Amino acid sequence: MKKYCVILLMLIAVVAAPMSNAQLRCGIKLGANVSNTCADFHDIKLDGTALTNFTGGVTVEWIVAGGFGLDASAMYTAKGATYTFGDNLGGLLGNLADRVLENKVHYIEVPVNLKYKLQIPAVERVIAPYLYLGPSFAFKVGESIELGDKSISSKEIENSSIDYAFNLGLGMEIINHINLSVQYGWGLNSSSEFNFLDKIIDETSVKSGAWTITVGWMF
């Protein structure tokens, strides 16, 4: 029994050793994201134009050892696109040719990333590049759906309550506090369903993607 206790204590010591040197910091981030959607309506094309939106929130970074660690954030963001109905689709749905539809969804997004920060002695205090990747979970808190100058029902366009994505990004930390980063997020699930197209389209699949640029301050 004593033998197993000694082994257990040794394992705990091995695991706890790098944690004792772990760096836990928090901060704030502000920036902008450019989002668009990839819409698959079989043989009918619905052209989308990207939307640019503000993003901002709080973040936590935990570097364990060797520059490897985790970071997580809680960010407000908005995603979506504007669509222009072509002559073919506009004619099928009535007087919609050349009309513009804007679908903007507001989220609280929670990304959780694996992170690697390049640590070079005597240099990292001035500049330290880093890479990160991981999933994000965006929870819908509001939406704005407008066709021309009129709002339309959320029953006609149903936006998912949770949008899942996978993020890949790179950044740079300056003087231990300022963080500059850019990332792209690939949407993993159908973020919107166009119910008012049911009479001509059996299935819709709309996935969102977004470029995000942020500047942050770590405390």
Output the DSSP codes for 100-125: EEEEEEEEEEEEEEEEEE---TTTTT
Arithmetic mean of pLDDT, 60-73: 94
CATH architecture of 23-218: Beta Barrel (2.40)
Least confident range of 96-100, 147-151, 153-157, 212-216: 96-100
Cα–Cα–Cα angle for 130, 53, 204, rounded to 5 degrees: 100
Average pLDDT, the chain: 81
Arithmetic mean of pLDDT, 18-30: 79
- Pick from 104, 107, 170, 163: which is nearest to 136 by CA? 163
- Pick from 114, 128, 111: which is nearest to 77 by CA? 111
The pLDDT tens digits of the residues spanning 97-148 come to 566 778 899 999 999 999 999 988 888 889 999 999 999 999 999 998 887 7
Please give the residue that has the higher pLDDT: either 11 or 217: 217
Position 17 confidence tier, pLDDT thresholds 50, 70, 90:
very low
Domain boundaries, the chain: 23-218
pTM: 0.80
